[in-house]
Amino acid sequence: ERARARARARGGMVSTSGDLSLRRCGLKDKTVFLLESKKLRSSYDVLRLTALDLVQQLDVSLGEAREILAAVSSRVARRAERTTALHMKEAEIKDPRSVRTGLETLDDALKGGLRAGTVTELVGPPGSCKSQMCLQVALFATLPRNLGGLDGKVLYFDAENHFRAERLVQMAQARFPDRYLTVPLLHKLLGRVLVSQLSSLSHLESLLPSLEKTILEHDVRCIVVDNIAVLARTEYAIDETVRRQEVLGKVASYLKRLACAYRIPVVTVNQATATCGREKGGVMDMGAMKVRAAGGAEEDSMGAALGPKWAHYINTRVSLAYDGSEGRGLLSLVKSPFAPEMALSFSSAPAGVSEDVNAAESVAPDLLPHLSALQYLW
């Protein structure tokens, strides 16, 4: 009872936002099975009950009931743990969870790829290879460790029906021709990408409570959401901005919590729109996070949609621009706590988005405004 009271006092019990699955509460498998057989499937379900309630429902001793409550409450309301930078670095080296992008310069800058426990945003105008990058990240997440992958499954949310299994197969065979030679291996690859079609932002919001169970049951090592901006901007009208930002904040917070709790990288796609500084009547447009090329004029700036509240949940932002007529694009690392700003030229090929090392001094004219590192305009 004292353990349960401490959990309440620390705020870890009464709010479902801190709810944990029983498999993350340090309980034995037979105890989890017993609890789930009584429809007690989460820490919230268990901590609503007293020790006597558990005795009656589970037919266990009072001591066993108290041990269950103590174990669950200690996981939900754990004390803050001290660590060191050295310990954090050693843990990352021992069990790396970052996912590679296939762009060596970007992966090196980020010290191994898109970092585990963080949310990365890919932002750019239509046709800038954002979805290609998502497929590429998904491919590397499914690869075995000896090929630089995470050897796990990917939870892929598709809002624009851009996911194409045949394109994923094409990338795999072009990048790893010696591996993907047989149908069984290709089936194994495709079976590791769990695709969920999304119809609206509300649809994604409704799926949040089940994500933790999916991660545990399927050994998910990466989450991709393509395209969060489409969901938000098509469902809500201009006069519903407050409601839209509220839902976006909930989605972003939940995704970031999952990323941290399970040490997995989360990748989201956002849209870029042209901005002119101020809307009619001099009211600042809060629907876009203003970005521009360093030294450029504000009226020539581009905006990453969804506003500052969404942007605050993003750890890393990568901007993409692509000139289809030239077959060449520019990728810029705009924001990252792990690396300084940088840019690289890329092209799109059967193997996916590939770094164009020979194009560093020859960039298409339409991409010149993006050569400087992008900066925020608050």
More confident residue, 258 or 75: 258
Instruction: Say which amino acid occupies 49.
Output: L
The predicted pLDDT at position 277 comes to 47
Residue whose C-alpha is closest to residue 150's, from 113, 121, 123:
113
Q: What share of the chain is helix, strand, coil (3-state, %, to 5)?
A: 45, 20, 35
Per-chain mean pLDDT for the chain: 81
Please tell me the number of Cα atoms within 13 Å of 220 on its side-chain side.
25
Distance separating alpha carbons of residues 203 and 221, to the nearest angstrom: 22
How far lies 325's CA from each of 69, 84, 92, 369, in Å?
A: 63, 50, 42, 17
- Please check whether residue 363 is in contact with residue 321, taking contact to mean a CB–CB distance below 8 angstroms: no
Predicted TM-score (pTM) of the model is 0.71
8: part of which helix (H) or strand (E)?
Answer: helix 2-9
Q: Select the highest-mean-pLDDT range: 183-197, 222-236, 291-305, 356-370.
A: 183-197
**Mean pLDDT across the stretch 262-286?**
66
Tens digits of residue pLDDT in 357-370: 765 444 444 544 44
The predicted pLDDT at position 301 comes to 59
The predicted pLDDT at position 298 comes to 41
**Mean pLDDT across the stretch 154-167?**
94
288-293/302-305 β-pairing:
antiparallel
Tens digits of residue pLDDT in 306-348: 888 888 999 999 999 998 888 899 999 999 988 889 999 999 9
Which of these ranges, 82-91, 242-251, 355-364, 369-378, has the smallest mean pLDDT? 369-378
Q: Is pLDDT of 282 > 80? A: no
Q: What are phi and psi of 120, to 5 degrees?
A: -110, 135
- Please check whether residue 99 is in contact with residue 140, taking contact to mean a CB–CB distance below 8 angstroms: yes
- Angle among Cα 202, 205, 208 to the nearest 5 degrees reads 155
**Mean pLDDT across the stretch 61-80?**
81
Confidence of residue 354 (pLDDT cuts 50, 70, 90): very high
**Mean pLDDT across the stretch 346-358?**
89
Tens digits of residue pLDDT in 222-260: 999 998 999 988 888 878 888 888 899 999 999 999 998
Tens digits of residue pLDDT in 22-57: 877 778 889 999 999 998 988 888 888 888 889 989
Token pair listed for 281? 């009547």
CA 202 to chain CA centroid, Å, is 18
- Please check whether residue 373 is in contact with residue 342, taking contact to mean a CB–CB distance below 8 angstroms: yes
Q: What percent of the chain has pLDDT over 90?
A: 47
